[in-house]
Structure 1
Amino acid sequence: MKIIRLILLILHIGIFFLLTGMLLNAYIPPKISPWFNLLSLGFPVLMIVYISLTLFWIFCWKKRAFVFIFSGLLFFNASIRWINYMPAKNDLSDLKIVSFNTKGGKTAGEQNIEKYLNSQNADVLLLQEESGNGLNFSGYTRGSIKALTAVFTKHEIVDEKLIDPDSEYIRSYGTQTDIKIRGKIYRFINVYLHPFKFEKSMVKLDGNNVQDEEKIKNIVKRLIPTFKIHQEEVAAIRKAVESSPYPVILAGDFNSVPNSYEYYHLSEDLKDAFMETGRGSATSFHDYKFPIRIDYIFSSKSIQPVRYTVDRSVRISDHFPVIATFRLQR
């Protein structure tokens, strides 16, 4: 039994250091070391094992349980970016946003997407993987820029711009749209970071050691270059946020999980609406069984999130729609 406990202790300490390494994404960009970003992908599993081992030490009445409990507090914020239980707010909202990767209508057809989004009666629709002219919403004005994203709003569009990374090799996947709402201008930044372009067969392990090892190698080979592309895209988006003379709402499909380099830097000086008001799981991509949150809505500190919902009642894309309401500063 002592040998088993020693092995579990070593495992527990190892997981602690892996989780701590994940936190370094706030400081170390992928072009210097992409390995910390890889750790963020495994956070749910690592955290579940960490908690399970902590409970084991409690059950065994070991003093080390207290060490792991207090050490685990380092990962509290990291955890509530995935699962959160904020009390419901009774504040009145005056802005509703839907961010949704429609997958170009390939899953359920454009008519079903139109029907759903029209039923939401949102002020602003921020769509990803939707650069065509297929969708049409009554009472909305569509932004004129096409970059695999689309903006629809019931309010006046004052200005719009493509967000270009500072590289001739990277295609822009983001836009900024300045919209006047009740006499005040807000900047909406709609992004779709470079996709990993995985198919299910590429990530599904089938128990064959040789084939599974080759699949894992191919996954890593695809992830690391994409992380580096994201770094340049993030820099361009941050420039659009920091140079904005207006309050900002940043939303979209980041193709990045919480606690990643992308998350830390895109959320800098902004509120994560899920952390402020979310309840339950923030998982927004449902094509795989593994919990994945890659869709977000952030806002400037002057914009107060009131409610955040991942709408799991519909499966009209491989993403769930993400809906947030806000209280605007008067």
Structure 2
Amino acid sequence: MIFRRIFKKKHLFLLLIILVFISLSLVYFNSHIILQKSINAKVMTWNISGANGVDDDNSTLEDIVEEIEEKDPDIIGLQEVTTEIDYKGLADELDMNYYFAEAGNTNEGNLLLTKYKIIHAEGVDLPLIDGTRARVLIKAEIEIKDQIYYIFITHLSRYDKPIDHWNQASFIASLIPQTSLYNVILMGDLNFAPISPPYAELIIKLRDSYDYINDDNGYTFRSNDRFKRIDYIFCSFDLEPIKSEVLCSDASDHCAVITTFK
């Protein structure tokens, strides 16, 4: 009788282990392998530096427009868009829908431009611990081919505020399960390097679209003759990047990142 009870408990324990293994395998399988879908969209992120150009060379908004029109993206996330910029006029000129979110009272923020219908969009304040300059995240839902896609656009705290941008990255990562593990695109000037704790936290849930395609460093910013990669387009594992490039010009001190999805 005692042996039979031990035998039953042993089998129950083994069954529990098997069920846990199957559950974890399904999560991995769903998020990494299956459900690759065709979105046929080009996505662009760009810190336009207030349309001031490289070293404040008085670049104009028209220079920004020309670069965008040449690449013809379907979804755009712009950072350091000042409230002095006529972003409604910019959207009209590009024939795109738009949503602007200001970071606190800083007179600048992030701008979503898209050829697709915006179902919902809001600005979410990001947490601050070490920094004093407000940061904001655009959290939007757009409709593509009768499906909802979740678009996040942000500009995290400066790289000399590592506590803040790690905390902000964790906050953004926590929002993703509230939406979906699918149809997610996160883009922006994230102010951290690929070898960093915030990057490691995001890469668990999202794919780095540029790194997925390319083997080079993909530098997007130069400071004091040091090159850095701090601008990104991340996506959920169901979306497949087929091309990703960095576009540098005199229109901004940041390079744009442009990813085309299958």
TM-score by structure 1 length?
0.59
Q: Does 1:143 pair with 2:110?
A: no
- Is the partner of 2:102 in helix, strand or coil? coil
Deviations 1:289-315 (A, max 9, x none): 222100111100010111110113x22
Query: Structure 1: which 5+ residue stretches go unaligned?
Result: 1-91, 197-222
Matches within 5 A, 1:52-71: none
Contact 1:186/1:247 (<8 A) preserved:
yes
2:67 equivalent among 74, 97, 116:
116
TM-score by structure 2 length?
0.73
Contact 1:163/1:240 (<8 A) preserved:
no
Counterpart-to-counterpart distance in 2, 1:146 and 1:124: 19
| CA distance 1:282–1:167, shift in 2 (3 Å) | closer
1:190 equivalent among 153, 157, 175:
153
| CA distance 1:229–1:116, shift in 2 (3 Å) | same
User: Which amino acid in the other structure matches residue 255 of structure 2?
Assistant: F
Q: Does 1:231 pair with 2:166?
A: yes
Counterpart-to-counterpart distance in 2, 1:131 and 1:154: 22
- Is the partner of 2:179 in helix, strand or coil? coil
| CA distance 1:149–1:185, shift in 2 (3 Å) | same
Instruction: After TM superposition, give the deviation of residue 131 of structure 1 in Å.
Output: 4.1
Contact 2:158/2:165 (<8 A) preserved:
no
Deviations 1:86-118 (A, max 9, x none): xxxxxx871101100000101122110111112
Deviations 1:29-59 (A, max 9, x none): xxxxxxxxxxxxxxxxxxxxxxxxxxxxxxx
- Is the partner of 2:167 in helix, strand or coil? helix
1:134 equivalent among 86, 96, 100:
86
- Is the partner of 2:221 in helix, strand or coil? coil
Counterpart-to-counterpart distance in 2, 1:231 and 1:287: 21
Contact 1:163/1:237 (<8 A) preserved:
no
- Is the partner of 1:286 in helix, strand or coil? strand
Corresponding residue of 2:41: 95
Instruction: After TM superposition, give the deviation of residue 166 of structure 1 in Å.
Output: 4.8
Contact 1:110/1:134 (<8 A) preserved:
no
Query: Structure 2: which 5+ residue stretches go unaligned?
Result: 1-37, 54-58, 104-108
Instruction: After TM superposition, give the deviation of residue 139 of structure 1 in Å.
Output: 1.3
Corresponding residue of 1:104: 50
User: Which amino acid in the other structure matches residue 144 of structure 2?
Assistant: I
Deviations 1:135-184 (A, max 9, x none): 40321011143331110000000111222335697723211111111111
Q: Does 1:159 pair with 2:111?
A: no
Counterpart-to-counterpart distance in 1, 2:164 and 2:102: 20
Instruction: After TM superposition, give the deviation of residue 257 of structure 1 in Å.
Output: 0.8
Counterpart-to-counterpart distance in 2, 1:258 and 1:298: 12
Counterpart-to-counterpart distance in 2, 1:157 and 1:119: 23
Counterpart-to-counterpart distance in 1, 2:222 and 2:151: 26
User: Which amino acid in the other structure matches residue 124 of structure 2?
Assistant: I
| CA distance 1:139–1:311, shift in 2 (3 Å) | same
Corresponding residue of 2:227: 291
Contact 2:126/2:137 (<8 A) preserved:
no
- Is the partner of 1:113 in helix, strand or coil? helix
- Is the partner of 1:317 in helix, strand or coil? coil
Contact 1:170/1:229 (<8 A) preserved:
no
User: Which is worse superposed, 231-240 or 151-160?
Assistant: 231-240
Q: Does 1:320 pair with 2:255?
A: yes
Corresponding residue of 1:263: 199
Counterpart-to-counterpart distance in 1, 2:151 and 2:70: 22
Instruction: After TM superposition, give the deviation of residue 279 of structure 1 in Å.
Output: 4.6
Percent identity of the aligned residues?
A: 24
| CA distance 1:105–1:303, shift in 2 (3 Å) | same
| CA distance 1:230–1:276, shift in 2 (3 Å) | same
Aligned residues, how many? 208
Contact 2:219/2:230 (<8 A) preserved:
yes
Contact 2:48/2:79 (<8 A) preserved:
yes
- Is the partner of 1:241 in helix, strand or coil? helix
Corresponding residue of 1:310: 246
- Is the partner of 1:262 in helix, strand or coil? helix
Contact 1:173/1:194 (<8 A) preserved:
no
Contact 1:126/1:151 (<8 A) preserved:
yes
Task: Give the alignment's Cα RMSD to 1 decimal.
Answer: 2.2
Contact 1:176/1:240 (<8 A) preserved:
no
